[in-house]
Every structure is written in structure tokens, then in C-alpha cells.
């Protein structure tokens, strides 16, 4: 362990040397008690982080690891995006291993440079790494689509986070002998329940490593941004290792050097680019709308929504539910089967047009519905129209995310501070949120009618109409 008085100079040397994955010390090879022999470590090769080492852990940890990740192997990280980006077939199991590894690395750097003053022990390390491994265990099928788009249409009111219930179920069902304190479920849900994390009195910073509800910078984002960019063939110039190696704990909060504010901004802007080009791609959204309609139509027969109240049933939900519907002979699933077959044949809901909500209208904006569009059309039915309300921001709504992050001047500095909006580069965006309304026709022959209704709606709402897609040009290419 490096003495406290020596960590400043060593950290500057490491940050200035541009250390990479290959040159940085392997965090999993060392522990507080000394050096671990590589012969006793399980190693895996990850296509993002290279070789990942799994620390020797009690059998209880290994059991929880193996059993929980059996489910994550059946969930694609990006849901149905692979139908547009063929390489996006990586699973939440791969992502969770990456978060596990980065959580361990971040603690290793903190132990090396601030170990004595932070009092990070072996229990802390194992707990945070386990939280990284389990942070997505409660995810439903098809990425966030299941929770945010399907469930609101079939369940009234709110539904609880499933991660905590599912972990408890795994432990009880498989008789895993593990201290409940080790699970620290509040570390897993900190991003969605900031009050839980803020209530922690001791080593509060540990709760910000995997899921940071305070400012949005965490190893979960470090991994999925790099992994999703790679899988979709997109370039990624966000260097998360610069932040990983330079972070410092001040007043129980993770802080970063002020000179890295552009690196921090790159994190959020790269995430926004992924949302714009992948997660909310117009065709991805069209397929999602069709999958949601198929699930809603199948819900009465399969009672899919009832699974979210019972961990034993929820455990069974995976992306294979579409194949179950598609191959089922039940007449009650006929409409759902037809929708899935349309997706297979690429007979998708047709994109008609989109409209970016003016900045001065964002405060009063409410989601647009098919009923709103139908009311502006002639001889249209509500079931002929599908609407996707897209929100893209830098994790902080309409506010600059940099204003929530604590920075420090240099490693001798004892004070932390925020960087206000007027003290950063004027080349950065002046607006931090987009709200985009996309409208689709569920049948090809209705594209022109739906497009006209959408333009009428925009004229009535804002006095101008969208000019993104020319229907006549679309029809020309469809005839070719």
C-alpha cells in the first residue's frame, strides 16, 4: 500500500503518462493482504476490456454469480436494436461482467492513492463488485422497452424495482449462504432512488461507483457506452480510463480534476449520440412499437404483466418471448403472431415524419398521442397511427450536467468546486435536451394520410410544419 503522503505524486505520474489497459496495474491481482497468485484466478477475455480476472471468492458469491447470470445471458443489452444494427447482439451478462471489472479497478485506484484515509477494506471491495455484477439482474426483456413502454399500457399505477426482490429470491430458492449485508441492494438501485444513497452515513462514495444518482458518472455508463459503440460499429473517443485513474474522494464524494471537464462532457455527449443514432433510431423505434403492440395483444392470454409481481415468474421472462408467441398455435395469439411475422418480413410501421419541439415550448410539452394526430386527420382511426415521443438529454434534463459534478484544481488542493455554465467552452451546446415526436403509419397505404394529419397537428400547435421526410419521394422509392 502506498503511503498517503506519496499518493499525490504517484497519481500525477500515472495520469500524465496516459497509462492504458496494458500498462496499468491489474487490479484483480492484488488485495489488501498481499499479492494473489494468478494460478488461482479465473480469467475471461472480454472484447472491450481485454482479460478480466475474477477474484477468488467464497462459494456463496460464486453461486450467486452463476445463478443470477444465467438469466442475464438471455437478455440482449440493446433489445431489438440488433434488427437494425446486426452486431448489437451482446447480452447483459457481458455488460455486467464489464461493470464488475471496472468497479474493482476503480476501488483499486482509490486504495492505491487514498487507501489509508478512505479505509476501504476487503468487504467493501467485494460488496461493490457484487453490486456491479447484479445491477441489471432485475431488467425485463428488450432493454428498457418492457418497463417503460409495455407495462404502462397494461398495468395501472407504478410497479416496484425487481432487482432487490429477484436477488432475495435467488438467495432463498437456491439456499445460498450469504450475509444480507454483502448484497447492499441500495448500491444497485442508487441511480433510481437517490434518497436511499443519500441516507448512507458511512463511505457514501461507495454507493456512487456502480450507479451514481448524484451526478450520473459511474462505471455502468463507462462500460455500456464503450460496449454499445463497439457492437454497433460506431467510433467512441470517450476515454473513461482518464476519469477512472484521476478521480479523488473529497468530503465523501467522487471528484475529478478540473482539466478533465471536457472528458466528462464527452461522456454525456457520447451517451446522447448513442441515444440519437442507436437507441432511438427511427427504424428501431418502429420495431419497438410493433413489439409492444404484439405483447399488449398477447397479454390477456399469456398474462405477461402478472410476472412482474412474482420473482419466481419474472425470472422466466426473456427475449425469447417473441419466439414463444410466434410458434404458438393458440388462436388467441393470432394478432400478435401476425405482427411478429410482419417484423420478420420487414413489413414495418412506416415512418411518416418527425418534429423537434421548439426550445421555448419544452417546459409545457406533453407527450403526443395517436388520438392527437387522428383528430387532425380525415377518416383516420386511432389504431392506424403510432407515435414515439423521444427524449434525449445529457442525463440532467434541460440542465448542464457539469454543474452537478465536483471538481478540484490539482492534487494538492483541499477544496472542491462546481464549474458554472458561463465558465466552460462556448463550443459546447447551449441546450441540453431534445424532445422529438415521430409519427408512424401502421399500414403502408396510410402514410400520406397520416403525414398530412401530422402536419396539420403541427400547424395547429406551433404554427409551422415539420419538413423531414417527403412523402412523394418515399412513394417513388417504394415503387422501384
Catalytic residues: 159
C-beta separation of 40 from 28 below 8 A: no
The label of the residue with cell 395517436 reads 370
Query: CA neighbours within 13 Å on the CB side: how many for 99?
Result: 28
> Distance between CA atoms of 139 and 144, rounded to whole angstroms?
8
Helix axis angle for 122-134 and 92-118, nearest 10°, is 160
Sign, CA torsion 419/420/422/427: positive
Q: What is the CA radius of gyration of the chain?
A: 24
The label of the residue with cell 471496472 reads 102
> Distance between CA atoms of 367 and 402, rounded to whole angstroms?
28
DSSP per-residue string spanning 409-473: SSTT----B---GGGS-TTS-S--EEEEEEEEESSGGGHHHHHHHHHHHHHHHHSS---S--HHH
> Distance between CA atoms of 65 and 401, rounded to whole angstroms?
34
Give the contacts of 433 (CB within 8 A, at least 6 positions apart): 362, 391, 392, 393, 394, 397, 398
Helix axis angle for 7-17 and 92-118, nearest 10°, is 150
- From the DSSP assignment, how many helices (H) and strands (E) are in the chain? 20, 10
Which runs of consecutive H residues, i.e. helices, occur in 148-218?
151-154, 163-173, 180-183, 185-188, 194-198
Nearest to 93 by CA among 134, 126, 140, 141: 134
Output phi, psi for 376, to 5 deg: -100, 5
Nearest to 241 by CA among 17, 9, 6: 17
CB count, 10 Å around CB of 323? 11
Amino acid at each position: 500500500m502506498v503511503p498517503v503522503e506519496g499518493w499525490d505524486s504517484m497519481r500525477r505520474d500515472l495520469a500524465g503518462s496516459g497509462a492504458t489497459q496494458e500498462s496499468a496495474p491489474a487490479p484483480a491481482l492484488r488485495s489488501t493482504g498481499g499479492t494473489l497468485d494468478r494460478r488461482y484466478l479465473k480469467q475471461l477475455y472480454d472484447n472491450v476490456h481485454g482479460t478480466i480476472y475474477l477474484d477468488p471468492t467464497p462459494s456463496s458469491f460464486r453461486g450467486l454469480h452463476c445463478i443470477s447470470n444465467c438469466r442475464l445471458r438471455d437478455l440482449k443489452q440493446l433489445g431489438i436494436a440488433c434488427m437494425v444494427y446486426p452486431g448489437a447482439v451482446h447480452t447483459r451478462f457481458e455488460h455486467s461482467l464489464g461493470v464488475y471489472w471496472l468497479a474493482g479497478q476503480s476501488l483499486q485506484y482509490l486504495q492505491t492513492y487514498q487507501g489509508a484515509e478512505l479505509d476501504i477494506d476487503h468487504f467493501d471491495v467485494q460488496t461493490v463488485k457484487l453490486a456491479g455484477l447484479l445491477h441489471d439482474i432485475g431488467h425485463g426483456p428488450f432493454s428498457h422497452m418492457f418497463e417503460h413502454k409495455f407495462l404502462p399500457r397494461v398495468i395501472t399505477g407504478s410497479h416496484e424495482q425487481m432487482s432487490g426482490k429477484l436477488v432475495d429470491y435467488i438467495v432463498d430458492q437456491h439456499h445460498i449462504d450469504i450475509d444480507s449485508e454483502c448484497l447492499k441492494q441500495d448500491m444497485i438501485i442508487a441511480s433510481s432512488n437517490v434518497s436511499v444513497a443519500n441516507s448512507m452515513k458511512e463511505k457514501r462514495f461507495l454507493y456512487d461507483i456502480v450507479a451514481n444518482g448524484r451526478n450520473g458518472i459511474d462505471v455502468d455508463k463507462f462500460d455500456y457506452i464503450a460496449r454499445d459503440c463497439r457492437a454497433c460499429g460506431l467510433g467512441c473517443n470517450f476515454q473513461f480510463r482518464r476519469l477512472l485513474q484521476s478521480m479523488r474522494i473529497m468530503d465523501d464524494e467522487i471528484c475529478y480534476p478540473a482539466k478533465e471537464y471536457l472528458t466528462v462532457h464527452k461522456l454525456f455527449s457520447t451517451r446522447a449520440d448513442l441515444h440519437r443514432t442507436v437507441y432511438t433510431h427511427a427504424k428501431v423505434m418502429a420495431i419497438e412499437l410493433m413489439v409492444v403492440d404484439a405483447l399488449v395483444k398477447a397479454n390477456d392470454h399469456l398474462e405477461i404483466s402478472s410476472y412482474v409481481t412474482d420473482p419466481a415468474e419474472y425470472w422466466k421472462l426473456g427475449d425469447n418471448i417473441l419466439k414463444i408467441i410466434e410458434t404458438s398455435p393458440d388462436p388467441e395469439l393470432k394478432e400478435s403472431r401476425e405482427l411478429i411475422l410482419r417484423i420478420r418480413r420487414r413489413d414495418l410501421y412506416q415512418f411518416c415524419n418527425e418534429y423537434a419541439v421548439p426550445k421555448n415550448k419544452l417546459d409545457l410539452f406533453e407527450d403526443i398521442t395517436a388520438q392527437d394526430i387522428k383528430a387532425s386527420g380525415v377518416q383516420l382511426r386511432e389504431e392506424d397511427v403510432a407515435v414515439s415521443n423521444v427524449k434525449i438529454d445529457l442525463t440532467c434534463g434541460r440542465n448542464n450536467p457539469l454543474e452537478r459534478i465536483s471538481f478540484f484544481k490539482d492534487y494538492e488542493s483541499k477544496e472542491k468546486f462546481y464549474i458554472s455554465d458561463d465558465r466552460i467552452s462556448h463550443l459546447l451546446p447551449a441546450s441540453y435536451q431534445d424532445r422529438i415526436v415521430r409519427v408512424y403509419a401502421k399500414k403502408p397505404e396510410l402514410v400520406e394520410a397520416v403525414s398530412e394529419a401530422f402536419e396539420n397537428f403541427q400547424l395547429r400547435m406551433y404554427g409551422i410544419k415539420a419538413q423531414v421526410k417527403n412523402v412523394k419521394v418515399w412513394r417513388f422509392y417504394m415503387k422501384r
